[in-house]
Structure 1
Amino acid sequence: MDTNVQTITEQVSLIASEQTWIEGAAIQQLKKTAELDGMVRVAGMPDLHPGRGYPIGAAFYTRDKIYPALVGNDIGCGMSLWQSSLKVSKINLDKFAKKFARVEAPLDDSWCELVAERKKEKNITNHSFDLSLGTIGGGNHFTEFQAIDQVYDTDALSALGLDKKQLQLLVHSGSRGLGQSILVEHIRQFNHTGLNAGSENAQRYLQQHDEAVRWAELNREFIARRFLEAGKADGQMILDINHNLVTAKTLDNQNGYLHRKGATPSDAGYVVIPGSRGDYTYLVRPLPSDKSLYSLAHGAGRKWRRGECQGRLSHKYKKDDLYQTPLGSRVICGNKELLYDEAPQAYKKCQSVVSDMADAGLVEVIARLRPVLTFKTHGDCAG
């Protein structure tokens, strides 16, 4: 058996070492999902944790069936990495943190022309959710300025155009209310029943899904642009990758559909694997493999469920303690519950997740990035 590739059943595999803790409920959800009609194979990543009925941090391969519920409500959620024109050595955190007072409101009229232009270029015709464009949302979504901390492959870093002297910007968000509306409408009509591939209903869902993916990509672009503008900087997108989506995929010489829910594609170039706000992010070169269904972890993965973190941590950490991290970075989060729910202690160590994938022959680490300033929300508006 391959190192760090555990075979749970004939259909179910888990990319994780024996030392990596995975909640039992997540394994049960993984097994249960394998029983769905048309399901061929299921692969869990080392960041696997329980979701609402279906596990997060997993990939699912079907034939003849499409399951919108496996993609979830945040269609197109993913990560975008930008390199800013700001020099790491010039950043004064106290002054820098004050620049982002107006980055949560809807984009104002000064953005209208560019929004219209970019929507046309990306063939986005839905206008119902334009007020949400350029906004982060809640949960584990964030924007984080980072510094390249360690370089393991100088040539690869140079090929990507990354400069260790420059401040990087990582954006994690998705399709906001648009993706939610698509899933809600599907569940209303079909509950959790899969759609027959090729059917009119499946084609309609895929059209909506594909537009939501493009909308999510555009959302990350405008989040990055407004943060760069607020920071009085320019920037360039280095990569953008989605981790909640379904795509057509040929496996074992047969056509099917690869669903990813919190799983980063390994067949689309370089990707970033972020840690918690008090942990490192890793830039990696994927080594595509069908043993992981051409997928990777999308982050460190939760240890604790949301809602229980404040009870676990408040006796040890006051709210003010969580605005600074052991790595010297700063956190902006005015929502107390979210501050605790997204605390570094609620997540696994990202290094262990990345090591599991490296040992399984799925990635090569290019660089490590250290958080400088993490933005969640200014107040109780994290929904």
Structure 2
Amino acid sequence: MTMDDTPQAPAPTLVASAGQWIEGAAVQQLAAVAAWPGMRRAVGLPDLHPGKVTPIGAAFASDGLLHPALVGNDIGCGMSLWSTTLKRAKAKPVALAARLHGLDGPWDGDTSARLAAAGLEPTPCDAALGTIGGGNHFAELQAIEQVCDAAVLTALGLDAERLLLLVHSGSRGLGERILRDHVERHGAAPLAADSDDGRAYLARHELARRWAVVNRALIAERFAASLHTEVSCRLDICHNSVSAALVDGCPCWLHRKGAAPADAGPVVVPGSRGSFSYLLQPTPDSEATLYSIAHGAGRKWKRSDSRARLQRRFTPQSLSRTALGSEVICEDRELLFEEAPQAYKDIERVIADLVDAGLARVLAVLRPLVSYKLRARVRA
């Protein structure tokens, strides 16, 4: 092969307006990943921000190769939205928050039976089934603040007079174990999808993805029991995954790292704990952006920077109630500062970028009432 024949790395696509805050390190990571072996496309979304090695808020298409690092250690992480029977007119955030206890320890039910009902075998990580975890994971009681498309909301079974529950969690230690095993055997190297190792990774990935769905469902049920309500799942969307797709007319592997699918129906894109969330109808034929949209607001500050910037300005008590009047349950002081609203981008700007790019339209605006992260004063 001559120098002129050397394949060129694809130029990454960045979906963001001039007014959007995108850290330079995230753009550099996006360009670096675009040069990885087999890469066909790399797309950064408006919530793009730096990760440890690869950016978050991005989608990547590769030819024939699986890159487990692009999925990360929380395989199957996603958002599920649940309707409840709680009446909005009677909702008092302080009273609701007071009823949420005993949700961080292991579930006292039969995890093997629960997994079997979903067609899954037990795993070594099942003690964490039904728990939220740390980082940016949460469960949040919400009210419908604004209806933009009543017909779609009705079709989804959403009632503006009833509260909703949004659950954000993933495969907990199971996904971490899968990535760790891969790194121990292969380092940062990709896997040929048609190899034995590639097929084995895809099988473990599918296990973790389905485990994460069960985890979110059990979290919702534990919340429902604490609040004496019924819940019903209205959507469940994964934003950390790899799947087969057709891009540029060619079969490839679509990796999403903090990117919600645009071709799987309505999606909730949450802001910080102190801002609104948005129920969106994505544009399903958005091949130019790898059929993906933003999965949240995206971080503006690193976790360590958040603590340094905020600890002198705010007390834990002041961060436990937001400007919107919602309650935040987080009894881990460091996590409370790391996940403060100020550490995140402006969700309204992120949504505007998606809408302006023709990637989605707003179905409803959701107001936070109670955001639950952690009762126990330990790291999850």
Instruction: Find the aligned partners of 1:56 and 1:92 in 2 and give their Cα distance.
Output: 35
> For 2:325, which of 298, 312, 328 is the aligned residue?
328
Q: 1:382: Cα distance to partner?
A: 3.1
Match of 2:167 in 1: 171
Match of 1:275 in 2: 271
Residue 260 (structure 2) pairs with residue 264 (structure 1): yes
Q: How does 1:359-378 map to 2 (within 5 A)?
A: 359-378=356-375
Q: 1:116: Cα distance to partner?
A: 4.0
Match of 2:30 in 1: 30
What secondary structure does 1:156 align onto?
A: helix
Residue 165 (structure 2) pairs with residue 162 (structure 1): no
- Matching residue's letter, 1:224: A
Match of 1:107 in 2: 107
Conservation of the 8 A alpha-carbon contact between 2:140 and 2:167: yes
> For 2:288, which of 271, 287, 291 is the aligned residue?
291
Deviation per CA, 1:108-153: give whole Å up to 9, x if none. 1xx32xx444422322113311110000000000010000001111
Match of 2:135 in 1: 139
Instruction: Find the aligned partners of 1:271 and 1:355 in 2 and give their Cα distance.
Output: 15
Conservation of the 8 A alpha-carbon contact between 1:303 and 1:346: yes
Q: 1:19: Cα distance to partner?
A: 1.0
Q: How does 1:57-206 map to 2 (within 5 A)?
A: 57-108=57-108, 111-112=109-110, 115-206=111-202
Q: How many residues are aligned here?
A: 371
- Matching residue's letter, 1:60: F
Q: 1:380: Cα distance to partner?
A: 2.5
Q: Give the TM-score normalised by structure 2.
A: 0.96
Match of 1:306 in 2: 303
Conservation of the 8 A alpha-carbon contact between 2:132 and 2:219: yes
What secondary structure does 1:44 align onto?
A: strand
Q: Give the TM-score normalised by structure 1.
A: 0.95
Give the aligned CA root-mean-square deviation in angstroms. 1.1
> For 1:240, which of 236, 240, 249 is the aligned residue?
236
Instruction: Find the aligned partners of 1:85 and 1:325 in 2 and give their Cα distance.
Output: 25
Residue 226 (structure 2) pairs with residue 223 (structure 1): no
> For 2:350, which of 350, 353, 370 is the aligned residue?
353
What secondary structure does 1:301 align onto?
A: coil
What secondary structure does 2:274 align onto?
A: coil
Deviates more, 1:151-160 or 1:240-249: 151-160
What secondary structure does 1:19 align onto?
A: coil
Q: 1:291: Cα distance to partner?
A: 1.3
- Matching residue's letter, 1:35: A
What secondary structure does 1:150 align onto?
A: strand
Deviation per CA, 1:82-105: give whole Å up to 9, x if none. 011101111233322121111111
Match of 1:5 in 2: none
Instruction: Find the aligned partners of 1:127 and 1:30 in 2 and give their Cα distance.
Output: 34
Structure 1 vs Structure 2: percent identity of aligned residues?
49
What secondary structure does 1:319 align onto?
A: coil
Instruction: Find the aligned partners of 2:94 and 2:10 in 1 and give their Cα distance.
Output: 54
Conservation of the 8 A alpha-carbon contact between 1:42 and 1:61: yes
Instruction: Find the aligned partners of 1:224 and 1:332 in 2 and give their Cα distance.
Output: 16
What secondary structure does 1:162 align onto?
A: coil
What secondary structure does 2:303 align onto?
A: coil
Conservation of the 8 A alpha-carbon contact between 1:11 and 1:40: no
Instruction: Find the aligned partners of 2:60 and 2:355 in 1 and give their Cα distance.
Output: 21
Deviates more, 1:72-81 or 1:88-97: 88-97
Deviation per CA, 1:145-180: give whole Å up to 9, x if none. 000001111111111110011010000000000000
Residue 339 (structure 2) pairs with residue 342 (structure 1): yes
Conservation of the 8 A alpha-carbon contact between 2:171 and 2:211: yes
Match of 1:214 in 2: 210
Match of 2:5 in 1: none
What secondary structure does 1:134 align onto?
A: coil
Q: 1:310: Cα distance to partner?
A: 1.7
Deviation per CA, 1:206-235: give whole Å up to 9, x if none. 000000000001000000000011111101
Instruction: Find the aligned partners of 1:79 and 1:382 in 2 and give their Cα distance.
Output: 22
